Structure 1
Amino acid sequence: MAQLRRPPGGRPARIMLLALLLDRTGSGVWAAASVLYFTFVVGLDAGQLGLLLGTAGVAGIAGSPLAGHLAGRFPVRSLLIGCHLLRLATLCALLVVTRFEALLLVVALTNLGDRAAKTLEMLFATRVAGERRATYQALSRSSANAGYALGAGLAAIGLAVGSREAYQVLILANALSFVAAATLVWRTGEAGGRPLVRARTGGPAGQAGQEGREGPYGPTGRLQPGPSPWRDRGYLRFVLLDMPMNLDDSVLNVGLPLWLVHHTDAPHALVPAFLVINTVLVVVLQLRVSARVEAPRQAAAAVRLYGLTMFASCALLVLSTGGGAWTASVVLLAVAVLVTLAELVRSVSSWELAVSLAPQEARASYLGVAGMAQSVQKSAGPPLLTGAVMAAGPVGWLVLGTAVAGLSVVQRRYSLLRLDALDAPPARTVATPATGHGPGVGLVEPDGGTGRAGSGRS
């Protein structure tokens, strides 16, 4: 346990965790106040607000791959500072922007910076935490959730006042958190500062230079691009399957509240309890869960557990209707606990697999693409729940739970197959003696003559 309490990565990691705490505190302030600000201060109607949030979601999808692409060419630390400054500028612009068209651009850029910053934080962790990245991920999630909770509490003060000036103070508080986060990231020094591209040397095929030493340039001084994740159908298949493995977020934040209001007799005052349960359990249990999912194959096994937990959550929701207020309340609180447990498993397993299934020489761009799974889910998840699942009633929840559980089995199986392929020894070429019919022909054999297949990407 003493090892778990010590953040991997030393001083840079500790500074980054503090930066995460401050950043998410500001984000918690804005998350609690943004909808009310756009409604009562800016004066947007429901249609405009929906379009604004939808545009922000679409912009966020582009943030992860863009950050991954740039991280292969520029220092992660500089890019992360740039994201914080971009969010600072766009958030301060909200104090003076009133036209709806301009708001669309400002909010889209803010969300683009948010998603890019989250991806860069993941890339920073792969550099400073190394093989203990699961532990660092747990600590970062605990810090982030504590920050969100603190920010929501601070926002409650401004919302109680309710004036335009109070909302402006909340915006400035979030802006201040970006300044503090950027300053702390700058203080991390060189850790995570080099481009996350592994240089290729002129040696034998399949060999590469030491990661992080030569940077993105080989011995010729030219940029040596790694493999593209957009051409790796195997990795894209993993990302596609990872999208439904993130649905716990929409179930907790959209599905549970709307199901309570429209399909049960539970009191509406129960809705904030879902967030409280989620926040407390993540802060208390995330580190313990990560200790059990620190290896790639453990992460693959945990995917199936995620699917079973989500199925149990959806099946339990069916029991919340028709049994009175007390029964519905108990069932919904139990579902909130189960969904949070699923989130705890997913947050570690999904990230571990995203790192482990990517080639080291192009990890930055691959993780950028992997980050799209969460962004797409945040955009597509709420419409899926409101337009299909809840419209179908209890049957809709059963179908959703069954689908997620089934896809989790597919994801586990596929991840294990790809890990086997990556672990297989590289093929080597054996030259045959020249014959009278022409030059010798090179035969490809598994390294070491074990008879195993070469390490081709699936």
Structure 2
Amino acid sequence: MLLAQLLDRTGTGVWAASSVLYFTFAVGLDARQLGLLLGAAGVAGVAGSPLAGRLAGRFPVRILLIGCHLLRVATLGLMLVCTRFDVLLPVVAVTYLGDRAAKTLEMLFATRVAGERRSEYQALSRSAANAGYAVGAGIAAIGLAVGTREAYAALILGNALSFVVASVLVWRTHEPRSHGHVVARSTDAKPAAPRSPWRDRDYLAFVLLDIPMNLDDSILNVGLPLWLVNHTSAPHALVPAFLAINTVLVVVLQLHVSARVEGPRRAAGAVLLYGLTLLACCVVVATATGGGAWTASIALLAAALLVTTAELFRSVSSWELAVSLAPEESRASYLGVAGMAGSVQKSVGPLLLTGAVMTAGPAGWLLLGGAVAGLSVVQRRLSLRRLDALLPAAPPSRTLS
């Protein structure tokens, strides 16, 4: 399964690094068309997670995941022969829907396969994913250097091939019948009927709070590069170092961090660490405008280290709590809704940074960091309160809220 994810992310890394240039130079879309295309894709991606969760409650996850891989193979093939914008719009939207659905299904499948060792598996998965993205970006760089339509087509075919091989590997992986269990329940409890996550206010509140707990992604990929270019005298060549720092640290440290933050209560504690670390990152970014090129460079590199540290905490806490706070009998549909947090953040986060934080200057970063830190306290308390309700017989030494 890890190898399948590695191949999936390698193909996705190829696509992420080359898609905008492909649509611009090989297809000939203008900036307005490209914006509409990516906007529609983002909306479709938000719908992918809950749709996958709903279907996973009715059909085998393995079959659905293979279906998502093959769906993307088909849509990538259509992109090679379609050049009209009105045709590409639904094709790209379905591609992103399948991509987000596949990510949710991968974690559902991993939760079932890994059982109580899901934290360790999640760490290995994150390391494999980042390694895949790095390899994919490297492969894309070769094709982009050639720059011909044939080179772009080869990159798309390589992405499609990664999904084909991933499908074969998923097919060969056994899916347990049991969904496993996350938290202990009373032995005399009666089986509960499936519940709808859309009617569970506490869980929806957790998912809503999890959106700002994913802002590290937009800060790394949008906030730091734009702040460097527009508000500091640091050299532009420093921008690739942000991604390099992130990739290396996640691959090297994710398993170690996950081993220290194991179990739902420690995951709730990691939420607070996330908020404080992101606050520190925002403070450092705000100070990057006060000196020369060297001072700004050091500050922004330190910010990249801090935002990566926050990501390490978030990657442990977000999924662990999403699983632990969901009723076992309705876990698939609940996790589908939880997966929306990352998708919504990818759509809203860049707009928040470019439209509000950047406009407000250094004060905008301080307000952003303070808001995320405050919300992390709220999410931690909410999570612990719900865990107390799920674990009425927890020992007295449990973490206090």
Q: TM-score range by the shorter chain?
A: over 0.9
Matches within 5 A, 1:118-197: 118-189=103-174, 191-192=175-176, 194=177
Structure 2 counterpart SS, 1:129:
helix
Work out which of the residue numbers 208, 213, 221 in structure 1 matches 2:191.
208
TM-score, L = length of structure 2: 0.95
Q: Is the 8 A contact 2:62 2:170 kept in 1?
A: yes
Q: Tell me by how many angstroms 1:177 deviates.
A: 0.2
Work out which of the residue numbers 315, 318, 321 in structure 2 matches 1:353.
321
Higher RCO, 1 or 2 (CA under 8 Å, sep at least 6)? 2
Q: Is the 8 A contact 1:83 1:117 kept in 2?
A: yes
Measure the CA separation in 2 of the matches of 1:35 and 1:196.
Answer: 39
Q: Is the 8 A contact 2:265 2:384 kept in 1?
A: yes
Q: Is the 8 A contact 1:64 1:119 kept in 2?
A: yes
Measure the CA separation in 1 of the matches of 2:197 and 2:178.
Answer: 17
Measure the CA separation in 2 of the matches of 1:244 and 1:205.
Answer: 39
Measure the CA separation in 2 of the matches of 1:294 and 1:121.
Answer: 20
Q: Is the 8 A contact 2:112 2:180 kept in 1?
A: no
1:227 aligns with 2:195: yes
Aligned partner of 2:6 in structure 1 is 21
Structure 2 counterpart SS, 1:95:
helix
Deviations 1:29-76 (A, max 9, x none): 111111111111111112211111111111001100000000010000
Measure the CA separation in 2 of the matches of 1:389 and 1:243.
Answer: 17
Aligned residues: 389
Q: Tell me by how many angstroms 1:205 deviates.
A: 8.6
Measure the CA separation in 2 of the matches of 1:325 and 1:106.
Answer: 44
Measure the CA separation in 2 of the matches of 1:380 and 1:322.
Answer: 29
Q: Is the 8 A contact 1:65 1:368 kept in 2?
A: yes
Work out which of the residue numbers 80, 92, 97 in structure 1 matches 2:82.
97
Instruction: Give structure 1 stretches of 5+ with no counterpart.
Output: 1-15, 199-203, 210-224, 426-458
Deviations 1:327-380 (A, max 9, x none): 111111110010000000000101100000001011100000000000000010
Measure the CA separation in 2 of the matches of 1:206 and 1:38.
Answer: 56
Measure the CA separation in 1 of the matches of 2:331 and 2:180.
Answer: 7
Instruction: Give structure 2 stretches of 5+ with no counterpart.
Output: 182-186, 394-401
TM-score, L = length of structure 1: 0.83
Percent identity between the two aligned chains: 77
Q: 1:197 to 1:227 in 2, by over 3 A?
A: farther
Structure 1 counterpart SS, 2:248:
helix
Measure the CA separation in 2 of the matches of 1:283 and 1:158.
Answer: 25
Matches within 5 A, 1:287-298: 287-298=255-266
Which amino acid in the other structure matches residue 166 of structure 1?
A: A
Which amino acid in the other structure matches residue 317 of structure 2?
A: S
Q: Is the 8 A contact 1:149 1:279 kept in 2?
A: yes
Measure the CA separation in 2 of the matches of 1:331 and 1:143.
Answer: 29
Write out the 4+ residue segments of structure 1 that deviate beyond 6 Å after TM superposition.
Answer: none
Q: Is the 8 A contact 1:246 1:374 kept in 2?
A: yes
Measure the CA separation in 2 of the matches of 1:133 and 1:363.
Answer: 14
Q: Is the 8 A contact 1:88 1:175 kept in 2?
A: yes
Q: Tell me by how many angstroms 1:303 deviates.
A: 0.4
Measure the CA separation in 1 of the matches of 2:179 and 2:277.
Answer: 35
Q: Is the 8 A contact 1:125 1:136 kept in 2?
A: yes
Measure the CA separation in 1 of the matches of 2:66 and 2:179.
Answer: 16
Q: CA RMSD, aligned part only?
A: 1.6
1:418 aligns with 2:386: yes
Which amino acid in the other structure matches residue 251 of structure 1?
A: I
Aligned partner of 1:336 in structure 2 is 304
Aligned partner of 1:39 in structure 2 is 24
Work out which of the residue numbers 248, 253, 257 in structure 2 matches 1:285.
253
Aligned partner of 2:357 in structure 1 is 389
Matches within 5 A, 1:265-344: 265-344=233-312
Which amino acid in the other structure matches residue 194 of structure 2?
A: G
Q: Is the 8 A contact 1:87 1:110 kept in 2?
A: yes
Q: Tell me by how many angstroms 1:413 deviates.
A: 0.7
Measure the CA separation in 2 of the matches of 1:93 and 1:322.
Answer: 50
Measure the CA separation in 1 of the matches of 2:33 and 2:282.
Answer: 32
Measure the CA separation in 2 of the matches of 1:408 and 1:372.
Answer: 18
